[in-house]
Amino acid sequence: MPLPAPAPEAPKKPTRPSDRFVAYVYELCESKGTRAALRKGLGLPIERCNYLHRYLVPWLPEAVHPDAKRAHYAVAALIAARPRTARDTPAIRPAADDEAASWYRRVNLGGALAQAVGKKVLKPATAESALHLMTRQSTDAIHPGLPALTRQLLRDGIDIDWAVLLEDLAWWNRSRDRIATRWLESYFRVTSAAQAADDNTHPETPDLSEDNNA
């Protein structure tokens, strides 16, 4: 008599707080009404996010830093505002068991912009201009522009690692140079690798029209 097949393992719950928060917001967004309420916080300061408090206040500690609090509200609204084509895409999770080791290999916003360039969603000049502008700004200037940027990326099939974005926004005003450098490095690393792959796919060929005997 054949043995019954073992039950599939339940997916491990994320241990990183930012990943747990993103998973929580994804669950909230299964309700159309809740998703609409969260979406009302798009690009707004916390003082104008009255519809989000009932969902996010229970999650956040009372003593959370104001920048981190705003980052949580912003990311919740951005997730809720995903275009219909992106709603069925699951949240990005760590690829390895060791979440700490895999964290810096996950795609930040600079890497996402590079992917958009590779897929012809954005022109290189447009992506680089947007990236350089953001790296010089405070979060007060970055937050209002994120809804349009993330929506464009998602609409054209570019995934966003919300947990990475959440932590980067939370620390931006205190560690902007470090995070901005990581975004820029990711952008140019990805675009350079794509360019190298394209060069290998289309190697230069000799110009046979020339008269080599001249």
pLDDT of res. 193: 76
**Predicted local distance difference test score (pLDDT) of residue 205:** 46
Round the CA-based radius of gyration of the chain to a whole number and report it.
21
What is the CB-side half-sphere exposure of residue 150 using CA atoms within 13 A? 25
What is the total residue count of the chain? 214
Q: What is the DSSP letter of 202?
A: S
pLDDT of residue 190: 92
- 6-32: per-residue pLDDT in tens? 544 445 666 789 999 999 999 999 999
pLDDT at 57 exceeding the cut of 60: yes
Q: Which residue, among 79, 70, 100, 95, has the nearest Cα to 25 in the 3D structure?
A: 79
Would you state the pLDDT for residue 92? 73
Local confidence band at 60 (pLDDT 50, 70, 90 cut-offs): very high
| Whether 71 contacts 169, CB under 8 Å | yes
Evaluate if residue 70 carries a pLDDT over 60: yes
The structure's pTM equals 0.83
CB proximity list for 97: less than 8 A, separation 6 or greater: none
Compute the distance between CA of residue 75 and CA of residue 80 in angstroms, rounded to an integer: 8
The band of 4, judged by pLDDT with boundaries at 50, 70 and 90, is low
Q: What is the pLDDT of residue 199?
A: 58
Reading the block at residue 201, the tokens are: 């796919």
The CB density around residue 207, as the number of other CB atoms within 10 Å, is: 7
